[in-house]
Amino acid sequence: KAGVTQTPRYLIKTRGQQVTLSCSPISGHRSVSWYQQTPGQGLQFLFEYFSETQRNKGNFPGRFSGRQFSNSRSEMNVSTLELGDSALYLCASSFGQPQETQYFGPGTRLLVL
């Protein structure tokens, strides 16, 4: 069974630009969660999508948004990039119930210059 895939793996952008990251979950998983990981803040929850609906959201500004498609693939968008947005962005998929394990993709490393 294929794991969670994320594209692109690496990205370099400049301040003010926008970026879109993609996540394809494990087949059959309907929940996709996004996390930001930085050395100073650790793993921070961005949002979770389930069946194309955002049902949980972390404390991030509105510049961070996402969506989920009918095939459960998810995209995350960051507009007006800031230097502090440089991070590893991880997505995780699961069946979406509390007892279910989240399986993570390899992440996208974003560098904002």
Q: Which of 8, 11, 9 is nearest to 111 (CA)?
A: 11
Q: Does 98 bind other proteins (CB under 8 A)?
A: yes
Site string for other proteins, 18-57 (x = CB under 8 A): -------------x-x-x------xx-x--x-x----xx-
- Beta carbon nearer to other proteins, 70 or 97: 97
Q: Which of 96, 72, 91 is nearest to 33 (CA)?
A: 91
Q: Which of 22, 31, 42 is nearest to 87 (CA)?
A: 42
Q: Does 90 bind other proteins (CB under 8 A)?
A: yes
Cβ neighbors of 33 (< 8 A, separation 6 or more) are: 45, 46, 47, 48, 49, 56, 91, 92, 93, 94, 102
Binder of other proteins out of 11, 65, 67, 103 (CB under 8 A): 103
Question: Which residues form the interface with other proteins (CB under 8 A)?
Answer: 31, 33, 35, 42-43, 45, 48, 50, 55-56, 88, 90, 92, 94, 96-107, 109
